[in-house]
Structure 1
Amino acid sequence: MNLDDHARLVADGRFPAPADAAVPGHLSVLYRGRLSSCNYDCGYCPFAKAYDSRGALRRDAEDLRRFVDWAAQQRRPLSILFTPWGEGLVRRHYRDALTTLSHLPQLRRVAIQTNLCVGMRWLDAVDTARLALWCTYHPSQVARSAFLARCRELDRRGVRHSVGMVARREDLDEIEALRAQLPARTPMWLNAFDPRPPDYYDAAQVERLQRIDPHFRYNLEPAPSLGAPCLTGERVISVDGDGNVRRCHFVAEPLGNLYDGSYAAQLRPRACPNARCDCYIGYAHRPDLPFLRDYAGGVLERVPAAPADA
């Protein structure tokens, strides 16, 4: 299917238009700076217990301040998702950035991926109407009771959030236990364990995981992507610490730089150049998949639309 076919199907109502399509000039920004350190030690993660030098952290903080200053100067509506390789909320400069951004009138949403390990007092200064957290539970690193207590505090404060896990086979019972103890209104997502052998899950295990996350198969068996329509490079961009803009984290081709504005002339409808896309923050922006509809208003934070919002 080419882009002309996609435009026709959107017009016919067979593919959903993005939830922010009615907001003129809206841009979603996926920011990934230099941070690559994490306080957790998950055995499957390459960033487990990694440490950034003081110099690297200082540079990351400077880059982040520059990005926040850029966002503050914008007049177009923005949504921002921070996708650090490591854990951002343990660093004050990320908490400060989220706080500042949450008060900008042009910000529709600011969100971050987090293991939710930090205390909650920093949220006192945040405009929680604009903040969202994408929270991952790591059972080898934190007790379920402690993680659930933090989720309850997010509920009490009215912080929009989703909760998820890496779907390791040895954690199947823990996945179901977490789902059972979370409020029904809290969305729970699952990422397939990767890399894995072809027979890692059996049919019964996939069915159990599918009951927790109805979209699990899209992560387990990614649809072919080459030539598929995608909003990245048009209404969604990826930015690194130097301000280099790419269409997404998974396409190396540069579109320009955020700070000299050269990227703006390159924004246009594009098809995916990759054979497949197996990460939610990439394929969620494909209009031929259900996420723009099912997660309307919450694609960045992985929060499905409530019936009233759909």
Structure 2
Amino acid sequence: MYLTILYRGSLISCNYGCEYCPFAKRQQTAAELAIDKQSLEKFVNWISQHPQHQFSILFTPWGEALIHSWYQQALVKLTHLPNVNKAAIQTNLSCQLDWVEECNKDKLAIWATFHSEWVSCDRFLSKCLQLNHQNVKFSVGVVGFPKFKSEIAALRQELPNQIYLWINAVKAELPNLSPADREFFQSIDPLYELNTKHYPSFGHSCRAGKSVISVDGDGTIRRCHFIKSPIGNIYDSDWETALYEQPCTNQTCHCHIGYVHLDYLNMNQIFSSGLLERIPDDWTIHKS
């Protein structure tokens, strides 16, 4: 079995304070963080105990994970497991990057987001250039507020051309965007318009629930992050019976980590092996 897992543990704290984020500058107690650490280590061990399956894993924490050593070590361990094809993570890239050298970098991928309110372009760019020097696959993203246009333009100017810079469309703000704003975002990210839509999903075939699942710190399986009903638990002996094809029960899907798995959108043709880390299959083609 080839299975993609979106893992989200109990981490809900972040070292940044973005005004649009509910987890901004939120702190957790040492005891709460210890639970998250134990859950993550249990998950990594579970992956290693199922060598008959091939896994691709994306960590999608509610907060910043890579400032914690246990997430760094989880990526190190996972990238060296023969039954792991890829281990990727969403991050603000505020951590040190020395741990990267311990990874199998052929399997490591980074989804990095630039928050100009909390880090200078130069500092963030230096981390990107370090990853590039370390030969790590990564994409860079920003939240699509017009007030960040100058910082976005500066970042695109300085990033190597082969690094994809995506714009996360703020759906609630789309009606307020000027044509010039949308044209600017499209000039930075040729795939921007893909992220502006609420895709019809009810009754449609989706890989979520069959070959793609969401797993939380307790091991609870859900079809995806956006359908809250549990379908099983990876720590149950019969966990595999929970995985089968079934149509989506939500009316629409508008987040990249969700709609890319809808079969009718054929997003694999765009992202191929870079689906988890949000890198188009051949960025140089899209860039040109």
Normalising by the residue count of structure 1, what TM-score does the alignment of the two structures yield? 0.88
Of the three residues 152, 160, 168, the one matched with 1:175 is 152
Change (3 A) 1:307 1:50: closer
1: CA distance, partners of 2:24 / 2:210 = 34
Q: Which of 51, 59, 66 matches 1:89?
A: 66
8 Å Cα contact 2:145/2:170 also seen in 1: yes
Q: Distance in 1 between matches of 2:284 and 2:125?
A: 27
Equivalent residues of 2:164, 2:283 under 8 A apart = no
Residue 9 of structure 1 is matched in structure 2 by none
The CA distance in 2 between the partners of 1:106 and 1:88, in whole Å, is: 23
Cα distance in structure 2, aligned partners of 1:290 and 1:146: 36
Q: Distance in 2 between matches of 1:308 and 1:27?
A: 29
State the distance in 1 between where 2:161 and 2:280 align. 13
The answer for unaligned runs of 5 or more in structure 2 is none
Determine which structure has greater relative contact order: mean sequence separation of CA pairs < 8 Å that are 6+ residues apart, divided by chain length.
1
Q: Deviations along 1:231-255, whole A, 9 cap, x unmatched?
A: 0001100000100001100001211
Equivalent in the alignment of 1:214: 190
Alpha-carbon displacement from aligned partner over 1:104-138 (angstroms, at most 9, x marks no partner):
01111000000000111111211111100000000
- Is this contact kept in 1: 2:11–2:63, CA < 8 A? yes
2:105 corresponds to 1:128:
yes
- 1:40 paired with 2:51, answer no
Aligned match of 1:253 in 229, 239, 245? 229
Taking the TM superposition and a 5 Å limit, the aligned residue runs for 1:148-297 are 148-196=125-173, 199-297=175-273
1:167–1:175 CA contact under 8 A, matched in 2: no
Separation of aligned partners in 2, 1:97 and 1:307: 29
TM-score between the two structures when normalised by the length of structure 2 = 0.95
Identical columns (%): 42
Aligned residue among 82, 101, 117 for 2:78: 101
Counterpart of 2:4 (choices 16, 25, 28) is: 28
Aligned to 2:57: 80
Task: Give the letter for the 1:109 counterpart.
Answer: K
Cα deviations by residue, 1:188-242 (Å, 9 ceiling, x for unpaired): 111112543x622122211221222222223222222212221000110000010
Q: CA RMSD in A?
A: 1.7
Q: CA deviation at 1:270?
A: 2.1
Aligned length: 285
Segment drifting more, 222-231 vs 109-118: 222-231
Cα distance between partner residues in 2 of 1:308 and 1:261: 45
